[in-house]
Structures are given as C-alpha cells and as structure tokens.
Amino acid sequence: MEKNHPINFHLNSVGLKTLLTDKMMIIAYLFLALAAFGVIEMIYERYFLLSATAFDAGLNPGNRDVANAMKEAVFGHGGEVKREAPWSLYIVSYMYMIYVGSGIIFLVAMAELFEIEIIVKPAAGFLTLGLGMLFAGLFTIMMDLNVLNVHWMLLSPQYGSGMWLMMPLYMVYIPLVILEIYLILNHQKEWIKKVAFMIIVVGVLVEFVEFYVQAKLFDMNSARHLWTTYPILPLYFMVSSFAASLAIMGLYAYLVCKSQILMHTLERGALYFVLALGAYEAIAYLFIDKKWAEIILFGSFKYYFYLYILLAVIIPFALLFKHYLNKYFKLVASLSIIVGTFLGKMIFVYGGNAYPMSDRFGVGFEKYGEYEEVKEVIFFMPPLSEIAIVIGSIGVILFIFRVADLFFSVSVVEDKN
C-alpha cells in the first residue's frame, strides 16, 4: 500500500476499498460478524425475550404471550445467568484479553526503558496490539454487563469495589498507551524516553494496581475459596499473563515482523514465565482450599486441568528449553501457550464456581426440590451467543490493529536510526 510519508507521523490516505478488501480486515470482519451475531442474540434474549413474573398473569389475563413466557420460565432453560455460576466465559475472555494486552504494554514499556532495541523497534505495533486486546476485553465485559445501567458507575461510584476501580484504572491507562503510541510514531526519541520513563513509572504502577484490583475483584468473593486461597493472586495473574503476552508477541514477530530473532528473544522470555507458571501452580495447589482443589485436580475438572498444564507449561517447555532453531517449534509453542493460558483462566473462573454454595449446614449439598438431583459440581455450558461474542472479540483486536496500521503504519519497523 502506498504511504504518503513513511517516516514521519502522518495519516495515510486509505481508500474505502482497501478498508473493505484488505485480507486482514476481511478476517477481522468475519470475526466481528460472529460477534455481531452473538450480540444480537444476547440483546434479544436479555432485553426482548418476554419473561414472566408472578404478577404477569393477573396483569394480562388470558394473554397468550404471557402464557408462553410463563411456560418458558418454568419448563425452559432458565434464563441467561445461572445463579450458581454467575461469572462465565465473558469474564474469562475479559480477564484474558485485559491481562495479556496490558502485559504486552508493560513488557514493551520495560523494553523502552532498558533500551532493548529488538523490542523497541516494533514497539508501536506491539502497543497497538496490546491496546487492541484491551479493547477486546472491554468489549466482552460490556456485553456481559447491563449496558443500559453502566452510567451509574460514574453517577454512583463505590470506591471500595474492585469492580468499580476498573473504570478509573482504564480511564488513566488507555490514554497513556495511546499517548505512547503517538509519541513513538512521531519519532520523538527524546520524548519517548522521557515519556516512556513516565509511562513506565505510571504504567508499572497502574499495572500493579490493575493486577491488584483484578485479584481484589476475585478475592472479595470470600465464599469462593479457590479465589481467596490462591497464594499471592496478583502475582499469579502476572506470571500467567506475561507468558501469554510473550507468546502473542512472538506470534506477532513471526506473522507481522517476520523476524525470527525477535521471535526467538520473545520465546526465551516466554519460557521463563512458563516455568514460573508451572512452579506457581504446583505450589499454589498446596494452599488452595481442598474442596476446590479436589474438584480441579481429581474431580470433574481434572482433564481440563491436565490439558491446561500440558498446553501452557509442558509443551512450550519441551519445545523451547533447547535452542531449537525451527521456527515451527516456536510457532507451536506460542499457540500452545496462548490456548493453554486461556484454558487456565477458564479453569480459574469456572473452578471458582465449581464447588456449590449449597452446603450451607455442613451436612452435605442441598437440593432445592425433592425430585432434583444433588449438584456436587457446578458447571454450565455458556450459551451460543456468549461463545460467539468471545470468539468474535478477536475481531476487535484485528480491526483496531489493522486500522491503526493502515492509517498510521504502526507495524512498520523503521531501521533509519
């Protein structure tokens, strides 16, 4: 494609045709179309599907719609959110995208600070990628929330709530990242350094706050002991995120920068975090409440857990611990980490809800009706709309990255200096 000013910060002129026919954009659109399908489904079910209360029959006597709604309520699948497992795939995806995205930003900022040239060169691309992931995460979480009421986050703030702290956090964080990308593209070298230093300081601070807040978000749920007994939860989040961040950066290096050396460097980094993650999980389960640990390690979650360890730790370790030069090994290792850590987050979120809250009297799980079965483990398949939105959110990353690339050439690695 044609650039007006390949070096200086300028807006490329991009035709509508390019925006529509660009290969990467088409892939982004496909993902976004999937997300759109999910969103429409979700909106329909959440806001338009008739749901019946005890009053409805009296308020609309003989109404067939109400009758059908009542039938659905009693004999149907029971609504979008399951009371025993309120947090689901949305939260998994949100956590993953946000952590891994901000992990990338954090790592790039560090590289800027310590002048690790190999990473600094494609910094704008990395940062845009990270930013894209942040937005993808925010997109999924917005779909999970009742967006009609989100303004109350501003109008009725609750400073002590982990959930609320997310908002000011990203309100500071995202502009900061955009600022940095801007500076990089503008070649304000000195500024970069200064700003990068500032960003590093603020960024590291925010980063730690973020991981702390996220951990708080889970840790405040005192009843879900998986989350409360995980030792140094923010550290766990960081370790697993950095592993995934480096894997994604590696993938980026391979696909966009086409730089094997860069990839190699990043994968080395990933290896350390993978090892740290493995060590972490091994130690963590010594501390985790055994009710949850049993379900995850030996109960119905065990195969998912093994798969997680296999993908996130064992396979990458096997492929990376020697300096294999085969790029495919590294590619597979990256993909394995990316999928594995996602699975890890899933186990974390779903696992937290896995042990039912219904053992209120300490004499066994309670059932709510005579003919119901006792639930000893809680797991619900997420609805199709949710899966579509989560997968479709990849489109958000691709879209943001590609648009930024087309207009601002963020992926261009300039070798002038």
Partner 1 sequence: MKVELSRRKFLQGSVALSVLGGSLASVPTLWAKEKPSSNNTIVATLCEMCVNKCAAFAYVEDGIVKKLNPNPLFPKSKNMLCARGDAGIHALYDPDRLKYPLIRIGKKGSGEFKRATWDEAYEAILHGTDKFQGLKQILDEEENNRSTIGFCAGEGMGEHTYKQFMGDLLGSKNFINHSSICLQTTIAGYTLTLGSYGKADLENANYVIMAGANRAEAILTPDTMDMFKRTRGRGLKLIVLDPRYTNTAIHADKWLGIKVGTDLAFVLALTYVVIKEVLYNKDFVEKNVDHFETYKKHILTNNYTPEWAEKITGVDAHEITKIARDFMANAPRAVYYQGRRTAWSKQDFQLRRAQAIFTALGGGIDVKGGIVFGKKLYLHSHSVEVPTYTTNKRRIDRNEASIVGKNGTWIGFRNMIVEDRTPYPVRAFFSYKQNPMQSVPNVAKTKTMLEKMDLVVTIDTMPSDTVMMSDVILPECTYFEREDPVKSFGGTQPAIVLRNKVLDPMYETKAVFDILKGLSEKISRPLFDIAAKYDEYIQEEIEDSGADAIYEDDGYNFNNAYEQTQEEINEEIITSTYGEEAYETLKEKGVFYPNMDKYFKKISENEYQYYPEDKKYYTTPGGEKIDVQDTCIDEKAIAALKKNLGTRSGRVECYLSSMIKKKVDPMPVWRDELYSEAPKGMFKFITGRDAKHTQNSTTNNIMLLDIMKENYLWINKAQADEKGISHGDWVSVKSSIGEVKIKAYPTIKIIPDVVFYVHGFGSESTGLTFGHRNGASDNLIIEDTVETVFGSAAMHETVVDVRKV
Partner 2 sequence: MNYAMSLDYQSCIDCKACEVACKEENGVQLGADKQRIWVTQIEKSIFGQPFVALHPSQCNHCLDAPCVDVCPTGSSYFAEGGIVMTDKDLCILCKGCMEACPYDARFVDDTHVAVDKCSFCYETRLVHGEVSTACQATCPTKVRLLGDIDDEESDLVKMLKERKFYVLKEEEKTVPKLFYLLPEHDDYYAMNSVDPDTKIYTWDTFKPIIEKAKAKRKPQWKKIIL
Q: Which residues bind partner 1 (CB under 8 A)?
A: 48-50, 52-71, 73-75, 369-371, 373
Question: Among residues 72 and 414, whose Cβ is nearest to partner 1?
Answer: 72
User: Is the Cβ–Cβ distance between 397 and 133 less than 8 Å?
Assistant: yes
Closest CA to 315 of 351, 267, 348: 267
Which stretches within 117-188 are classed as H helix? 117-120, 123-144, 152-155, 162-185
- HSE (side-chain half, CA atoms, 13 Å) at 348: 28
* Subset of residues 125 to 154 that bind partner 2, contact rule: CB under 8 A: 144-146, 148-150, 152-153
Question: Among residues 15 and 76, whose Cβ is nearest to partner 1?
Answer: 76
Task: Provide, rounded to whole angstroms, the least separation between the CB of residue 149 and partner 2.
Answer: 5
Residue 61 binds to partner 2 (criterion: CB under 8 A): no
199 phi and psi angles, rounded to 5 deg: -65, -40
Q: Which does 157 bind (CB under 5 to 8 A by kind): partner 1, partner 2, none?
A: partner 2
Residue 353 binds to partner 2 (criterion: CB under 8 A): yes
CA 75 to centroid of chain Cα atoms: 34
User: Is the Cβ–Cβ distance between 131 and 105 less than 8 Å?
Assistant: yes
* The amino acid at 143: M
Residue 51 binds to partner 2 (criterion: CB under 8 A): yes
Q: Report d(CA 21, CA 28) in Å as an integer.
A: 11
User: Is the Cβ–Cβ distance between 176 and 204 less than 8 Å?
Assistant: no
Q: Which does 66 bind (CB under 5 to 8 A by kind): partner 1, partner 2, none?
A: partner 1
User: Is the Cβ–Cβ distance between 195 and 179 less than 8 Å?
Assistant: yes
User: Is the Cβ–Cβ distance between 320 and 271 less than 8 Å?
Assistant: yes
Question: Among residues 49 and 147, whose Cβ is nearest to partner 1?
Answer: 49
Residue 223 binds to partner 2 (criterion: CB under 8 A): yes
Task: Provide, rounded to whole angstroms, the least separation between the CB of residue 162 and partner 2.
Answer: 7
Question: Among residues 159 and 303, whose Cβ is nearest to partner 2?
Answer: 159
Task: Provide, rounded to whole angstroms, the least separation between the CB of residue 66 and partner 1.
Answer: 6
Residues that bind partner 2 (CB under 8 A): 46-47, 49, 51-55, 70, 73-74, 76, 78-84, 86-87, 144-146, 148-150, 152-153, 156-158, 160-164, 166-167, 217, 220-224, 352-353, 356-358, 360-370, 374
